[in-house]
Amino acid sequence: MNYEELEFKIPVEAEDYGECSKFVTDSVEAIMKEAIDTGRNKIFINTNLRLGLPMENINKIAGPFVEAWAQEIFCDALNDGVNKYQLINVEAQERLHMADVILQFKKERKTSSSVTAEVDVKATAEDIASSGKSPNITSFQRIRHRVH
């Protein structure tokens, strides 16, 4: 199969995409900031390894823990009894899905009353200078399967 033979589904950007994107980004940032400010940003992993864990590729170990933590933080925001973030749904995704968590927020729009965000959770370390600085490149194959 050649590139020229591929049939692409071209997404159409919603009129209010910029506004919705800012709303979602600000909401996710506020939820995470509150978790950090209240000390709920710690994950404790106990092991019997005397020499500890190897730091090279530690993200492969930390990633699933951070994904589970993020889902818990979003679920806590959803079920806080106040709903100050207007969060109406939190849904974890299976491994290798483009998103780790799908969030839905209540937001009145011309075409609907909600906005959906697909969140890709990343594990970074404050004490490693290059951590979290590289771009996240999703494979063409994953994107192609997602669109069709």
Rounded to an integer, what distance in angstroms lies between the CA atom of residue 116 and that of residue 119?
A: 10
114-119 β-sheet, strand order: 87-92, 101-106, 114-119
Structure tokens that stand for 55 in this block: 């730091």
- Distance separating the N- and C-terminal Cα atoms of the chain: 16
Distances in Å between the alpha carbon of 100 and those of 26, 51, 65, 108? 19, 31, 12, 25
For 1-24, what is each residue's pLDDT tens digit?
A: 788 888 888 888 888 989 999 999
How deeply is 27 buried, as exposed, middle or buried, from its count of CB atoms within 10 A (0-12, 13-18, 19+)? buried
Report, as ranges of residue numbers, the positions in the chain whose pLDDT lies below 70: 124-148
Looking at residue 12, its pLDDT comes to 83
Looking at residue 30, its pLDDT comes to 96
Is the pTM higher than 0.95? no
Q: Are 100 and 121 in contact (CB under 8 A)?
A: yes
